[in-house]
Structure 1
Amino acid sequence: MFGADKGNMAASDNRLNGKKLSVGIVQARFNASITDALAVACKSELIKLGVSEKDIDHVTVPGALEVAVALQCMAEKSKYDALIALGCIIRGETYHFELVANESGAGVTRISLDYQLPIANAILTTEDMPQAVARQEEKGRDAARVAVEMANLLESI
């Protein structure tokens, strides 16, 4: 997500200063073993970046297609500096994978643009469960860093 800078950003970097930020997390419960791990890694990283635990709101929804409507509800409250979408879509034998992956991604993007609110999209789309397990912690941490960096960037523009 960060390209060449990914490994070089310390919490002291102003781009990653989460103090005074309020962050909302929407987690899909489908594939809960993966999304729970995403959420733990994400919340841990937010706290490491200085976001107060009291300033992190975490809600769950049934699946990836329901994430966007919960994000929209949070965005409408004008309470959050950034939002985070967590989910896991694993390819199956039908077209359903493409439908869910495409529509959930489009919904997250639309809400971010409509509300001019950064949303870190960590809805994993993988071929199988081992790929999801391999990405769950790193992508959870990445989502936290993206949310904090983008909240700080938009505040400075």
Structure 2
Amino acid sequence: MQGANQGQAGSLDGHELSIAIVRARFNDDITRKLAEACLAELATLGVAERHIELVTVPGALEVPVALKALADSEDFDALIALGCIIRGETYHFELVANESGAGVTRVSLDHQIPIANAILTVENEAQAWARAEDKGRDAARVAVEMANLLDALP
């Protein structure tokens, strides 16, 4: 029955949705830009400001635990993870990138809640700035689309 839920799949109507965002403060200027773009796009998609919760955490490794607490509340249709990990000279980049990504995925699967993962993993600050606005907007669209898709699935 491919296409049976086609009407809801891909819907970017956020009027009935509640969404929470977890933003890492590490690389604060970049993650603020991600959040600004994300919030602006959520508004464009019809998500009411009163139905958006923004939580900040110290860094990308703390994002999954905040996401889990929000998922546990069952108050949200979708979650968004925002952060920025810039490669340094040590293995720390890989550790933070891999573990934060795995944590986000685990929360999503364990709670069956869509999480738009916009934790940037980049080589340098210039790459982060080049991606921040687009990825913030993309995260909003992914969250709304996936919330509507999961709502439409049996």
Counterpart amino acid of 1:79?
A: D
Separation (CA, whole Å) in 1 of partners of 2:11 and 2:95 = 35
Separation (CA, whole Å) in 1 of partners of 2:55 and 2:115 = 15
Counterpart amino acid of 1:21?
A: L
Question: What per-residue deviation string (whole Å, max 9, x for no partner) do you get for residues 19-39 of structure 1?
Answer: 010000000000001000000
Question: What per-residue deviation string (whole Å, max 9, x for no partner) do you get for residues 16-60 of structure 1?
Answer: 000010000000000001000000000000010000000000010
TM-score of the pair, normalised by structure 1: 0.91
TM-score of the pair, normalised by structure 2: 0.93
The count of residues paired between Structure 1 and Structure 2 equals 145
Picking from 32, 40, 45, the partner of 2:28 is 32
Q: Which residue of 1 aligns with 2:95?
A: 99
Structure 2 gaps of 5+ residues are: 1-8
Separation (CA, whole Å) in 1 of partners of 2:74 and 2:29 = 31
Picking from 97, 105, 122, the partner of 2:118 is 122
CA deviation after TM superposition for structure 1 residue 71, in Å: 0.1
Detail structure 1 runs of 4+ shifted over 6 Å in the superposition.
Answer: none
Separation (CA, whole Å) in 1 of partners of 2:88 and 2:143 = 30
Q: Which residue of 2 aligns with 1:132?
A: 128
Structure 1 gaps of 5+ residues are: 1-12
Determine if the alignment matches structure 1 residue 90 to structure 2 residue 86. yes
Contact 2:64–2:107 (CA under 8 A) maintained in structure 1: yes
CA deviation after TM superposition for structure 1 residue 14, in Å: 6.5
Separation (CA, whole Å) in 1 of partners of 2:14 and 2:40 = 12
Picking from 51, 61, 64, the partner of 1:68 is 64
Percent of paired sites with the same residue: 69
CA deviation after TM superposition for structure 1 residue 65, in Å: 0.1
Separation (CA, whole Å) in 2 of partners of 1:92 and 1:32 = 17
Counterpart amino acid of 1:77?
A: S
Separation (CA, whole Å) in 1 of partners of 2:46 and 2:101 = 28
Q: Which residue of 1 aligns with 2:18?
A: 22
Separation (CA, whole Å) in 1 of partners of 2:106 and 2:43 = 27
1:94 partner SS: coil
Separation (CA, whole Å) in 1 of partners of 2:10 and 2:88 = 42
Q: Which has the higher helix share?
A: 1
Q: Which residue of 2 aligns with 1:50?
A: 46
